[in-house]
Amino acid sequence: MDDRWNLMQDQPFSRLNARERAFAICNPDSFIELLCPRRKLTSPHLPPMGQTPQFDDGIVVGLGKAGKAPVVVVSQESRFVGGGVGEVHGTKMVMAIRLALRGQEILKSQYRSSEDSGQVALVISFDTGGVRLQEANAGLLAHSEVMDAFQAARGKVPIIGVIGGTVGCFGGMGFVASSVDVLIMSDVGRLGLTGPGVIEEVVGTEEFDAANRALVWRTTGGRHRFITRDADFIVEDTMKAFREKVSEVASWPLEKISSKRIIGTGDMVLEQMRLVELAANDKIQDSWDLWRQFGNEDIEHLWDSDVSEFAAHAQRWPRGRIGDCD
């Protein structure tokens, strides 16, 4: 088993499937899957539409250890109906959050909780376009249950988000990813609400050409999200890079993890208002306009540099409330 684990560490995170990511983000041999494919708890809604179901409904959930921290891991599979959230998929995610909370309570009350036994953390690897249209209503409702469960976990279970898959994280799952404590992205990862194709359809090809990969990535890609602080870390597209960062963050005290949040308090709303102000009245045409405002100069060089150099030199959005330093 360790051989498999070792092999996966050097592979691109983006190329691995959801189960491999969940398995390899945990310590070797620590991952226990819940509702594994053997349970065959598939979507009953897809077959009548002529869509073959998948045994895990496109999401892998399980328990493991990341460093010393017990973790509940959720990993979405974008190869199956675009990672779309349907009834089973959504309820599995909601239950993972609730079980993480329960695990935390049990760890604190029934297990010896010495300094180094760590705390339960939740790790979610997003790879989804949001609601699965074939089960749209149930998928939408599941999103609201996830957001509520996140709020219930606040101050109790730290939530670490990971975006490094080929689809990225779009639609309603964009809300969810922005509500985690710490978000880790790679260059491959993208985060947004409306997908490029839909924007093009609504605003026109002249303004947004969805086929222009560079434009798409600098609008929603990991580098831009790192600059706007939606992503706390940008890492190489390897399994190892993601795993090491997750383990590191999971070992932090809860307060330190929570301090990385970008939304979830009244003050953070005031901060975001200040960011939005920069874009009003068409002041921003391109993400790079924003990069310049934050003091980035040789942007093309920054864009082409490798991830560690980028992370070291990028000037990021200076957080602050409206009125703080205008």
Partner 1 sequence: MALERLEFEYTGVPEEKRDGWDYLHVGHVMSGDLEILVERLPAQANVSRIRITTSAVGFGSVWQMVIDEFMATRKVCGCEIWINDDGATPAVVKLRLSQLAREMSVK
Partner 2 sequence: MINFYGRGRDAIDLIVDEGSFQENLCGGERLDPEWAESALVGTARISGETVTVIANDAGFANPRFRMVYAGLMGLEEGLKMAHAVYLTIKADEDKPLAEKRPIILVVDTPGMSPGKVEEIIGIYKSTGAYQLASAEARRSGHPIVAMVIGRAISGGFLCHGLQADRILALSDTFGTMIHVMPLIGIARVTKINIVLLEELAESNPVFAAGVSHFYNLGGVDGIVEAVEDMRPCVEAQIAEIRRLKAGGEHDKVGPWSRLMSGIRRGGRKTSEKVIELMENEFDLALPCWLGGEDNGPTP
Contact 143, 54 (CB under 8 A): no
Q: Which stretch binds partner 1 (CB under 8 A): 37-45, 139-147, 175-183, 291-299?
A: 37-45
Count the neighbouring beta carbons within 10 Å of the beta carbon of residue 199: 19
- The CB-of-171 to partner 2 minimum distance in angstroms stands at 7
- The CB-of-43 to partner 1 minimum distance in angstroms stands at 11
- The CB-of-79 to partner 1 minimum distance in angstroms stands at 4
Q: Is 154 in the site for partner 1 (CB under 8 A)?
A: no
Q: Is 137 in the site for partner 1 (CB under 8 A)?
A: no
User: Which of partner 1, partner 2, none is residue 114 near (CB under 5 to 8 Å by kind)?
Assistant: partner 2
Distance in angstroms (rounded) separating the CA atoms of residues 166 and 14: 6
Question: What is residue 228's DSSP assignment?
Answer: T
For 21, the token pair is 């990511």
Pairs from 8-13 (Cβ < 8 Å, separation ≥ 24): 8/239, 9/238, 9/239, 9/240, 9/243, 10/238, 10/239, 10/240, 11/238, 11/239, 12/188, 12/237, 12/238, 12/239, 13/164, 13/165, 13/186, 13/188, 13/237, 13/238, 13/239, 13/241, 13/242
User: Which of partner 1, partner 2, none is residue 53 near (CB under 5 to 8 Å by kind)?
Assistant: partner 1
- The CB-of-98 to partner 2 minimum distance in angstroms stands at 8
Question: What is residue 128's DSSP assignment?
Answer: B
- The CB-of-241 to partner 2 minimum distance in angstroms stands at 23
Q: Is 54 in the site for partner 1 (CB under 8 A)?
A: yes
Distance in angstroms (rounded) separating the CA atoms of residues 222 and 184: 9
Contact 314, 223 (CB under 8 A): yes
Q: Which stretch binds partner 1 (CB under 8 A): 31-39, 238-246, 256-264, 270-278?
A: 31-39
Distance in angstroms (rounded) separating the CA atoms of residues 274 and 278: 7
- The CB-of-136 to partner 1 minimum distance in angstroms stands at 18
Q: Is 2 in the site for partner 1 (CB under 8 A)?
A: no
Residue with tokens 């991830």: 307
Site for partner 1 in 66-85 (CB under 8 A): 77, 79-80
3-state secondary structure of 315: coil
Q: Is 127 in the site for partner 1 (CB under 8 A)?
A: no
Q: Which of 5, 16, 53, 179 binds partner 1 (CB under 8 A)?
A: 53
Q: Is 19 in the site for partner 1 (CB under 8 A)?
A: yes
Nearest residue to 231 (alpha-carbon basis) of 98, 126, 302: 126
Q: Is 37 in the site for partner 1 (CB under 8 A)?
A: yes
User: Which of partner 2, partner 1, none is residue 38 near (CB under 5 to 8 Å by kind)?
Assistant: partner 1
Q: Which of 2, 50, 112, 306 binds partner 1 (CB under 8 A)?
A: 50
Q: Which stretch binds partner 1 (CB under 8 A): 33-41, 104-112, 264-272, 299-307?
A: 33-41
What is the size of the binding site for partner 1 (CB under 8 A)?
18
3-state secondary structure of 154: coil
Distance in angstroms (rounded) separating the CA atoms of residues 265 and 268: 5
The site for partner 1 (CB under 8 A) is made up of 17, 19, 36-38, 40, 47-55, 77, 79-80
